Chains A and B, each alone.
Chain A
Amino acid sequence: MKLRIKFTKSGVMVFIGHLDMMRYFQKAMRRADIDIAYSQGFNPHQIMSFALPLGVGVYSDGEYLDIEANSITSSEDMCKRLNEVMVDGVTIESVKLLADNAKNAMSLVAAADYIVSFREGHAPESFSMKKFLEFCEQDSILVTKQTKKNTREIDLKSYMYEVREDKDGIYMKIGAGSANNIKPDLIFQAYEEYTGISMDEFALKVKRLDLYADLGEEDTHKFVSLEALGEDFYE
């Protein structure tokens, strides 16, 4: 059975990197006595995959991992058991059952919501929200993106689905996942070039709110939270 677990990351836990979070969850499964399935072979490992790595220092209200379980109880019970073995700063939000043929979260991720604000004392003096929104409203925002193999020019604008001012900072819904991963930092780098102001490397405080699959057809987007693709289950 395929399950999707949603969790949040806050406090000092934001300093724990992706690989260590994977190790953390592997151990948590055992502590919570989740009947997780193992791969075959001499060194079996748990069948578990994460939707999208979260950078060190980034907060999140919506992280996902998918697991394969041999047996299940109920959403509520499994959520409770997992929460009992979590540390401060990681909370399990939900455990949902997926269809047997469901694609895993990693391959589905198409967009992410973020709230971006400035760390205390790090906001550039010349920053103006008006100017930033103006920048975002251009027809195209060309940047060169460094990948492992080469650099390529992309138009950020085609992956910026929504940007607006929010009470906690700037809200943005932008491309995410293996194909079009745009991090908020990339947008701010382009903004720095656009305005000529410079920000220190710790200036941004980023919080991811949720991850989405895109169920739209060709040119239209229909973003659905990864959580909504699963269902609650009962004993």
Chain B
Amino acid sequence: MRKQALSDEILLKIEKPARYIGNEVNSVVKDLSKIDVRFAMCFPDVYEIGMSHLGIQILYDMFNRWEDVYCERVYSPWTDLDKIMREQNIPLFALESQDAIKDFDFLGVTIQYEMCYTNILQILELGQIPMESKDRTWEHPIVIGGGPCAYNPEPLADFFDLFYMGEGETMYRSLIDLYKEHKAKNSTREEFLREAGKLPGIYAPSMYEVVYKEDGTIAEFKPKYEDVPATVKKQIVMDLTDTCYPENPVVPFIKATQDRVVLEIQRGCIRGCRFCQAGMIYRPVRERDVEMLKDKAYKMLRNTGHEEISLSSLSSSDYSQLGELVNFLIDEFKGKGVNVSLPSLRIDAFSLDVMSKVQDVRKSSLTFAPEAGSQRMRDVINKGLTEDVIIKGAGLAFEAGWNRVKLYFMLGLPTETEEDIKGIAYLSEKIAERYYEIPKTERNGKVQIVASSSFFVPKPFTPFQWASMNTKEEFLQKAHVVNDTVKEQLNRKSIKYNYHEADVTVLEGVLARGDRRVGKVILNAYRKGCLYDAWSESFHNDLWMEAFEEEGIDIMFYTKRERDMDEILPWDFIDVGVSKEFFKREWQRAKDEVVTPNCRMACQGCGAAAFGGGVCFEAKN
């Protein structure tokens, strides 16, 4: 009989017990007596979300290929089980062995979005692991964080022993060997953390100290010891073809958000949109070989039994072998009851052709991400998409039978004017008008346009990292301007406008560019009951506001305040390969409304060439 951490009674009482029992197809079972290191891999959100994350699948596969390591999964218990675990003092457990994670060697947390920070504290508390690093001993796991939010780890510095900047494939073997070595020679935990902090890409926050100026900005950020490196350099995989990639991903019993085989076709993005952190921190672009992907597609479909396969990357249209790969997938699998689900592609003749092969044109909608309403604003953010291209793409699609369009925009972008804001309504109107240019007899009913806007959050390691962020009131006022302008358009009945919540965006803004002092607000908010902040039904803005008030942390300092170009930013000690000089240059070009060509058109010398591969060297091969 498998061990069961929760009693039958609890499992029958809670929602979706399958979240907690493990035992899924392809989940890994190992003999604990032959294991040296137990690694709990955590995605701090509910199972269905966490199980959809490709990064964890890659690392789970990699760790479990190593004979001396056993990697298991752990996700956030939903609020119903959270309550029961607290009442009955049940320690949080990993799915495979159902053993308590407090007895593991490592707890690895992938930090994908700011609004999961309170969930990280829940994992630690339910795990019966001290929430703050300073209170942990060798009795507790080493808590290590990674993922995009680790590129500004400072708000979480108190809660993690280590952070890892980079792609998991590269450094974990060295870290685990170092851990084994230190355990064997009875080092102290501090000695281990200090040594780990010398490994490329590993950051041990307790080995650094921060001094602040009177105005609240950073005076100095420095290692406490001479042998601890002053900068932490991002680590990445240069050859994405000759590397590990799962062939047997775990298949959940309940429907996960991504219930399909996912092929990651490339990492990085050539585009250089100035608001986009992913487009900067994952540089340079590295593609996987199309033959490798074809082989993985076969194996993963066979080993999982999934009925759908999809591609994953930033700006998939830029993958050089896209046509070959997509046509292969359609020809090979479509007849076998496997759906090919396409990523969002640039709308052109090619994408419309493949889309019409894999989806019912009448039922599907097209997606455009102009990101901004006016051409001026699109130039500022370096979104190299012109109105002409959008209208032409929409026209092609309408003529092919589509009549539903989704448009994604941002509000609150740097230098934004009233005209830029209204541009969202104008562009939506122009697309609707393009539809009605088609003769009535050839049209497929009415056109439906859904324009959605999110509010812009300046992110570290982007040219907008110094920018002022709008307040909640400004955001909402702008959304109202869009809404009113939509209502004045001729085709207003065909256009639906939605906007994102403003409260949560402001909070995201604080956490994204926060420093170490913000950590106590997160802890305070968690103590007040904040959890699952990414879920609107459980987000309590009032509790967060109380927490800021009580900790004496000024929100505007982190959001509204435009940073000086020579200010020491909390994340400056991290080297992502793209230089600060490049970001400064791009910030100036944004203000000058000048577009920067993409990596394939002309190298801008951003610094990522230092990694010695990828798109930076494409022309030279």
Contacts and interface: CB of A to CB of B under 8 A. Distances in A.
Indicate whether A and B interact. yes
B619 interface: no
Contact of B302 (A30, A38, A46): A30
Given A23-B255, A30-B301, 14 more contacts: A11-B1, A15-B21, A20-B18, A23-B253, A31-B302, A31-B303, A31-B304, A33-B302, A57-B8, A88-B2, A119-B8, A202-B8, A202-B9, A202-B12
B253 A24 contact: yes
B25 interface: yes
B520 to A, nearest CB: 40
A15 B305 contact: no
Interface string A7-30: 000011101110010011011111
B307 A30 contact: yes
Interface string B243-263: 000000001011100000000
Contacts of A234: none
Given A15-B11, A43-B339, A119-B8, A20 B254 contact: yes
Interface string A33-60: 1000010001111100000000011000
Contacts of B254: 20
Contacts of B12: 15, 56-57, 202
Interface of A: 11-13, 15-17, 20, 23-24, 26-31, 33, 38, 42-46, 56-57, 85, 87-89, 119, 202
B4 interface: yes
A11 B2 contact: yes
21 contacts: A12-B2, A12-B22, A13-B23, A15-B21, A17-B18, A20-B255, A24-B253, A26-B305, A27-B306, A29-B305, A30-B301, A30-B306, A30-B307, A31-B25, A42-B360, A43-B339, A45-B337, A85-B305, A87-B24, A88-B2, A119-B9
B253 A30 contact: no
Contacts of B9: 119, 202
Contacts of A202: 8-9, 12-13
A145 B8 CA distance: 27
Contacts of A12: 2, 4, 21-23
Interface in B334-390: 337, 339, 360
A225 B70 CA distance: 44
B17 interface: yes
Contacts of A85: 25, 305
Nearest to B13: A202
Contacts, number: 72
A12 B3 CA distance: 9
Contacts of A33: 302
A209 to B, nearest CB: 20
Interface of B: 1-2, 4, 8-9, 11-13, 17-18, 21-25, 251, 253-255, 301-307, 337, 339, 360
Contacts of A89: 23
A106 B92 CA distance: 41
Nearest to B20: A15
A20 B253 contact: yes
Closest 9 CB pairs between A and B?
A: A27-B305, A30-B305, A15-B17, A31-B305, A12-B21, A202-B9, A20-B253, A16-B253, A38-B337
Best-buried of A29, A33, A202 by chain B (most CB within 10 Å): A202
A188 B9 CA distance: 18
A29 B360 CA distance: 26
A56 B11 CA distance: 10
Contacts of B306: 27, 30
A13 B22 CA distance: 10
Nearest to B27: A87
A33 B25 CA distance: 16
A27 B25 contact: yes
A173 to B, nearest CB: 25
A143 B152 CA distance: 64
A46 B24 contact: no
A85 B302 CA distance: 11
A20 B17 CA distance: 12
A46 B337 contact: yes
A210 B251 CA distance: 29
Contacts of B360: 42
A20 B304 CA distance: 15
A116 to B, nearest CB: 15
A63 to B, nearest CB: 16
A30 B23 CA distance: 19
Contacts of B2: 11-12, 88
Best-buried of A11, A13, A15, A38 by chain B (most CB within 10 Å): A15
A28 B305 contact: yes
Nearest to B334: A44
Contacts of A31: 25, 302-305
A26 B307 contact: yes
A89 B4 CA distance: 13
Nearest to B254: A20
Contacts of A27: 25, 251, 304-307
Contacts of A119: 8-9
Nearest to A39: B337
Nearest to A28: B305
A29 B12 CA distance: 28
A187 to B, nearest CB: 19
A184 to B, nearest CB: 15
Contacts of B255: 20, 23
Contacts of A30: 301-302, 305-307
Contacts of A11: 1-2, 23
A2 B254 CA distance: 28
Contacts of B1: 11
A13 B8 CA distance: 11
A30 B203 CA distance: 44
Nearest to A56: B12
Contacts of A44: 337
A78 to B, nearest CB: 16
Contacts of B24: 87
A33 B302 CA distance: 8
Nearest to B306: A27
A84 B255 CA distance: 23
Contacts of A46: 337
Nearest to A13: B23
Contacts of B22: 12
B131 to A, nearest CB: 30
B316 to A, nearest CB: 23
A56 B25 contact: no
Contacts of A23: 253, 255
Contacts of B21: 12, 15
A88 B21 CA distance: 12
Contacts of A29: 305
Contacts of B305: 26-31, 85
Nearest to B359: A42
Contacts of B251: 27
Nearest to A32: B305
A15 B255 CA distance: 15
A30 B260 CA distance: 13
Nearest to A41: B360
Nearest to A201: B12
Nearest to A86: B25
B549 to A, nearest CB: 44
B8 A16 contact: no
Contact of B23 (A45, A56, A87): A87
